[in-house]
Amino acid sequence: MTLTLTLREAPAAPLRAEALCPDRLAGLSRAEIERLELWHGNRRATLGELFAVSGAGAEDVRVVGDLGRVACLGAGMTGGRLTVEGNAGPHAGAGMGDGELIVEGDVGDWAGAEMRGGRLIVRGSAGRRLGGAYAGARAGMHGGEILVYGDAGEEAGASLRRGLIAVAGRVGAAAGLSALAGTIVAFGTIGAHPGAGMRRASIVAMTTTTLLPTYAPACTYRPPFLRLCLRRLRALGLPVTDEQIEGRYTRWSGDSVELRRGEILILEPPR
Amino acid sequence: MRLHGVEVEDTFAEAFGMWGARIVVTADTPAWAQHAARSLTGFATSVIGCKCEAGIERELDAAETPDGRPGVSALLFAPDAEGLGKRLVERVGMTVLTCPTTACFNGLEAEDETDVGGKLRYFGDGWQASKVLDGKRYWRIPVMEGEFLVEERFGIVEGVGGGNLIMLAEDAATALGAAEAAAAAMRAVDGAILPFPGGIARSGSKVGSRYSGQVASTNHELCPTLRAQVDDSQVPSGVGSVFEIVIDGLAPEPVREAMRVGLDAAARSGALRITAGNYGGNLGEHHFHLRELVP
């Protein structure tokens, strides 16, 4: 059974929608769901005022409408599946611990920020600080998987601690900024200064890019882990080629202003 | 009982609980995966002297392995879970980590697990790194070739060690032919391995010895050369050679199935008589009765 929440009209002010999570809707009747309160701008509104509720169940929830101003969709969710049919606003999937959040359109900034587990799939593009850390936090994403079929903005994976971020399109500047660990895979072009201040994480780039002078080349090889990682991404639906799986990558170690335990793996052209 | 005209003794194989693991070794080529798997499972015929028993289960196509490369699955058994963990770390560390192009993965989803990669990581001397993918942690250990990848945790189960068949024939060549046919049939059974060289043992043993400190000694009852010297010989007239096949499995069913197909193959391939080894039924918790394997 699928529970469908259809936005009645585009909200006049930003709307915070942490409550629209499968685990928070579980066990509630339709009337109880309609009485849930959301922040609409600086006032509280009931879910029923803003969304038409149809269907039943809470394991599979669909949210329909122009949700570009709806923040925190799926934030903190711990199970089930939430599908957003359209764009989602900022903080989508932030802090989620488990389950699957699928956004059919674009997501705003901070998608998957400080996420701990589960999977965030974005069919469109993502804004800045994908999987990032909020101000004051030492670490961003702690686990799980983020797949973006379009592009990602600046500072994707900033302060990444663990987990996998894969972007099929372009990745903005400073990907992996101060990342502690984890993996970022960029299938499209990658912006300036990837891995700035990175400690132990991995950035995989399928296109050549100019690196900071604090990165040094180690060798060109076939990283065994990358085969697993790319096969996993292919199984999840990203367009990964055989050449990328079988390819040779040059390993750049850095950032030497930090631990120099991070790596940027850049795919070499076929020989 | 008779099977294809061959006498099958109405007895049973007495087997013991042993902890087992499945190790998947992959490499750039099937040959390198085989090199590693053979070393991994070498010198592991019997817990009597090897601390564990191991064998190659089967070759794996690239499509069957975690990293999409050709591979081999091997099974390793030890008397207890702690010992199994130690043997896995020793053997994966000494034979797979050292072998060119290989990676090593857990091949058994089980409730109980033991840490393998998490202990081998120290070979990286601080330069090791881990990655978590789909809930599993892998260790990347830098080596002179490049990098060795090993899964952290391996599933372990309480399986069965010591299933067996004993084939008696007129002479050594005929008995070996029957045993070879049986071993070939048994190798097709997933979840079971034959730990002895070529799957066949010529030196079945009994517990104890007339010499103190000797934990096992030759099974004199089935030595054809002693037939006229010992009072309790079990070698019938006309039998000149005897071979044994030992089967270890991840569960009783693969052992039973291996014994069934082995019994059938041996009966078609020259054996005069087929029996099984036991200790009277008081030592091992698994009893595989031959009468249940004869159609």
Task: Tell me what pLDDT residue B283 has.
Answer: 84
CA distance B2 to chain A (A): 52
CA dihedral B232, B235, B241, B247 (to 10 degrees): -80
Selected residues 55-74 of chain B with any CB under 8 Å from a CB in chain A: 66-69
Cβ atoms of residues A75 and A95 within 8 Å = yes
Residue A205 lies in a domain: yes
Q: What is the CATH number of the domain that holds A158?
A: 2.160.20.60
Name all domains of chain B by residue range, CATH numbers in brackets.
2-14+159-292 (3.30.70.520), 19-157 (3.30.70.520)
Cβ atoms of residues B82 and B54 within 8 Å = no
Which chain A residues touch B67 with a CB distance below 8 Å? 224, 227-228, 231
Determine if residue A192 is left, alpha or beta; phi over 0 gives left, psi from -120 to 50 gives alpha, anything else beta.
beta
Among B68, B134, B149, whose Cβ lies nearest the Cβ of A225?
Answer: B149
CA distance A175 to A97: 23
Residue A9 lies in a domain: no
CA distance A121 to A99: 11
Determine if residue A57 is left, alpha or beta; phi over 0 gives left, psi from -120 to 50 gives alpha, anything else beta.
left
Phi, psi of B180 (to 5 degrees): -65, -40
Contacts (Cβ under 8 Å, ≥6 apart) of B30: B59, B70, B72
Residue B17 pairs in a beta bridge with B160
Question: Using the beta-carbon criterion (under 8 Å), do A221 and B69 form an inter-chain contact?
Answer: no
A222 to chain B, any CB pair closer than 8 A? The answer is yes
Instruction: Quickly tell me which residue has 């399928």 as its tokens.
Output: A206
Instruction: Determine whether A221 is exposed, middle or buried from the number of CB atoms within 10 Å of its CB (0-12, 13-18, 19+).
Output: middle
Task: Tell me what pLDDT residue A271 has.
Answer: 77
Residue A44 lies in a domain: no
Task: Tell me what pLDDT residue B106 has.
Answer: 98
Mutate which: A220, A228, A241, vs B, most B CBs within 10 A: A228
DSSP letters, A213-255, are TT-EEEEEE--HHHHHHHHHHHHTT----HHHHH--EEEEEE-
Task: Tell me what pLDDT residue B156 has.
Answer: 98
Task: Tell me what pLDDT residue A7 has.
Answer: 96
**Helices B172-186/B252-267 angle, 10° precision:** 140
Mean pLDDT by 10 residues, chain A (271 residues): 93 92 92 95 95 92 95 97 97 98 98 98 98 96 98 98 98 98 98 97 96 98 98 97 97 96 96 77
- The number of distinct structural domains making up chain A is 1
> What is the chain B residue with the closest CA to A250?
B146
B147 to chain A, any CB pair closer than 8 A? The answer is yes
Task: Tell me what pLDDT residue A57 has.
Answer: 86
Question: How many beta carbons lie within 10 A of that of residue A13, not counting itself?
Answer: 11
Question: Using the beta-carbon criterion (under 8 Å), do A200 and B129 form an inter-chain contact?
Answer: yes
Residue A55 lies in a domain: no
Residues B9-33 as b or e (16 or more Cβ within 10 Å = b)? eebbbbbbbbbbbbbbbbbeebebb
Among B103, B132, B133, whose Cβ lies nearest the Cβ of A224?
Answer: B103
Residue A33 lies in a domain: no
- What is the biggest distance separating any 2 CA atoms in chain B, rounded to whole angstroms? 66
Among A163, A200, A224, whose Cβ lies nearest the Cβ of B67?
Answer: A224
Q: Tens of pLDDT along B41-87? A: 999 999 999 999 999 999 999 999 999 999 999 999 999 999 999 99
Residue A51 lies in a domain: no
Task: Tell me what pLDDT residue B237 has.
Answer: 96
Question: Using the beta-carbon criterion (under 8 Å), do A225 and B138 form an inter-chain contact?
Answer: yes
pLDDT of chain B, 295 residues: tens digit per residue: 999 999 999 999 999 999 999 999 999 999 999 999 999 999 999 999 999 999 999 999 999 999 999 999 999 999 999 999 999 999 999 999 999 999 999 999 999 999 999 999 999 999 999 999 999 999 999 999 999 999 999 999 999 999 999 999 999 999 999 999 999 999 999 999 999 999 999 999 999 999 999 999 999 999 999 999 999 999 999 999 999 999 999 999 999 999 999 999 999 999 999 999 998 888 899 999 999 999 8
Cβ atoms of residues A64 and A51 within 8 Å = no
Residue A212 lies in a domain: yes
CA distance A212 to B268: 72
Q: Which of B246, B248, B85 is nearest to B159 (CA)?
A: B248
Residue A221 lies in a domain: yes
Q: What is the DSSP letter of A29?
A: -
What is the span of the domain harbouring residue A253?
Answer: 60-267
Instruction: Quickly tell me which residue has 């180690």 as its tokens.
Output: A218
A207 to chain B, any CB pair closer than 8 A? The answer is no
Residue B112 pairs in a beta bridge with B156
